[in-house]
Structure 1
Amino acid sequence: MLLQAVLLSILASILSIEWMNGHFGFARPLWVGTLTGLVLGDLQQGIIIGASLQLIFMGMSGVGAAVPPDQTIGSVIATALAILTGQGIEIALTLAVPVALGAQILDIFSRTINSGLIHMADGYAQKREYGKVEMSHYLGILVQFIRTSVIVFPAIYFGVDAVTAMISVIPTAVLRGLEVSGGILPAVGFGMLLTMLEVPYLFPFFFIGFALATFGGYSTVGVTLVAVCVALVLDHYNKKNKVNTEVKNESASDLDSLME
């Protein structure tokens, strides 16, 4: 169990770092479950559990400054405990979201620490101490590695009871505060995106999407489907109007040539 806990801690840390520095998709639950199953010697079960967890976390994503539940850590622990206990998908589905929410707290703390490291790197860059700038980046990776291992290692080594106890220790006020913050931060994220896009005519689409997600009860996937349909309709009419305009311009040019 010690070896498995160490290997899964390393795997979760690498995938979390990939999530923060690339988004190539390997930190998504489907890949996480597959790789976890491969480490534990049950690839088929890992794929099955990963696919099921992918459906749960499909609509979760970070918008702007919002920090979503840590689906990577949640998927590693849920898949591993499901395989190790032999209880299959049921226990994985039960554990994935609570563990992801618990890991979200440490994710916020690690991001705060890394913000300080960024300012430290800025100071070294101004002094042209580029070796220390590089060191600051490696320290950020170390913070992420520690943050992930602190959760994954005891969860795998001590089992389900350790995970449940870890989540139960978190004060209710802290969980409530994170819930409220999670409701506010997406709006802040939308505001940040609006300031970056100097295209005023696109602003209503942001507010429509936000209203559908917040007040309409739509998931991110639902809002995306509506957005795709709206985009296709607008693209169709824009092309149609462009063709009509070109035809009118050509007709006007022909008339002008005859007049000459």
Structure 2
Amino acid sequence: METTLLPTLMGGALMALLAGLDRMPVGQFMLCRPLVCAPLTGMVVGQLQAGLTVGILAELIWLGRLPVGATVPPDDTQASVGAVVLCALFAGGENVSAAQTLYCLLLALPLAKTGLLLEHWARRRNDRLPDLLLARLEREDDAAVERIHLRGLIHFTLACLGTYTIVVGAGWVVGRALEPLALPVIGQIHFPVGLSLPLVGASVLLATLNVSRSLTLFCASFLAVYLAGWVL
């Protein structure tokens, strides 16, 4: 199946919008988790294997810095979606290799920082809306409630799509420029580098867990899963 540029980008943009809005302002049905949004994006753009790999590698990083309350971490959701779209673009309709998948994820993760900046922008814009709403209500403009709520949602929509555009656009330009040098190196070391991402996420998660004996519980859970896999 030949991959065309526009359907891939539009399909990725749709997933970026749905997952990005689920991340904070709408729903919060956990569609924003890399383990969910990356495979779904892979299905949309025809790279399911890459989506599953990206979701597994990025999930623990996302869990280590959750977007809860006033906390605004880097947007690992858009990084995951963007990484899968980059895989589809680099593969050109072929099956993407493990090295290419890791390469695209390593390109996308640093660009997740732009999501933090754009979400701060959206929140600053929305901070002005309550005063505007009060002024409209004083003039008995009841319909302004709906319009101003919609305006707040539009700000988050622009932040989501802006982050996706930067991740995919900058990732494509930088990735194409560095591909001849970086991809052969990643091809040789992709297994230990890929293994390090979940380990880093697990380390951050353990450091932030406010649970008594969290390290003991984590090790016991890991050994239980390992034993179950060995028995089965």
TM-score class normalised by the smaller sequence = 0.5 to 0.7
User: 1:65 pairs with 58, 63, 70, which one?
Assistant: 70
TM-score if structure 2 supplies the norm length?
A: 0.65
Per the alignment, residue 95 of structure 1 pairs with 107
* Counterparts in 2 of 1:11 and 1:64: CA distance versus 1, 3 Å: closer
Per the alignment, residue 79 of structure 1 pairs with 84
Give the percent of matched residue pairs that are identical in Structure 1 and Structure 2: 27
The answer to whether the aligner puts 1:2 opposite 2:27 as a matched pair is no
1:209-233, Cα deviation, whole Å (9 max, x unpaired): xxxxxxxxx7343342x52448xxx
For 2:166 and 2:108, how far apart are their aligned partners in 1? 16
Structure ID, larger Rg: 1
Per the alignment, residue 128 of structure 2 pairs with 116
Q: CA deviation at 1:95?
A: 2.1
Per the alignment, residue 144 of structure 2 pairs with 132
Q: Name structure 2 gaps, 5 residues minimum.
A: 92-98, 178-202, 215-232
Q: Secondary structure at the match of 1:227?
A: coil
Check whether the contact 2:111–2:166 (CA below 8 A) recurs between aligned residues. Answer: no
Once the two structures are superposed, the pairs formed by residues 238-249 of structure 1 within 5 Å of their partners are none
Check whether the contact 1:28–1:54 (CA below 8 A) recurs between aligned residues. Answer: yes
For 2:42 and 2:74, how far apart are their aligned partners in 1? 22
* Counterparts in 2 of 1:79 and 1:144: CA distance versus 1, 3 Å: same
For 1:119 and 1:4, how far apart are their aligned partners in 2? 41
User: 1:29 pairs with 27, 31, 34, which one?
Assistant: 34
Check whether the contact 2:38–2:81 (CA below 8 A) recurs between aligned residues. Answer: yes
Check whether the contact 2:20–2:160 (CA below 8 A) recurs between aligned residues. Answer: yes
Letter of the structure 1 residue corresponding to residue 87 of structure 2: A
Q: Secondary structure at the match of 2:64?
A: coil
1:25-55, Cα deviation, whole Å (9 max, x unpaired): 1101111111110110122321121111112
For 2:115 and 2:70, how far apart are their aligned partners in 1? 17
Check whether the contact 2:19–2:32 (CA below 8 A) recurs between aligned residues. Answer: yes
Name the count of aligned residue pairs.
177
Per the alignment, residue 155 of structure 2 pairs with 143
* Counterparts in 2 of 1:116 and 1:223: CA distance versus 1, 3 Å: same
Once the two structures are superposed, the pairs formed by residues 1-260 of structure 1 within 5 Å of their partners are 1-20=5-24, 21-62=26-67, 64-86=69-91, 87-153=99-165, 155-156=167-168, 160-161=172-173, 219-224=204-209, 227-229=211-213
Q: Which moved more, 1:153-162 or 1:99-108?
A: 153-162
Alignment root-mean-square deviation, CA: 2.8
Q: Secondary structure at the match of 1:97?
A: helix
Letter of the structure 2 residue corresponding to residue 112 of structure 1: R
Check whether the contact 2:118–2:162 (CA below 8 A) recurs between aligned residues. Answer: no
Check whether the contact 1:13–1:149 (CA below 8 A) recurs between aligned residues. Answer: yes
* Counterparts in 2 of 1:229 and 1:82: CA distance versus 1, 3 Å: same
Q: CA deviation at 1:72?
A: 1.4
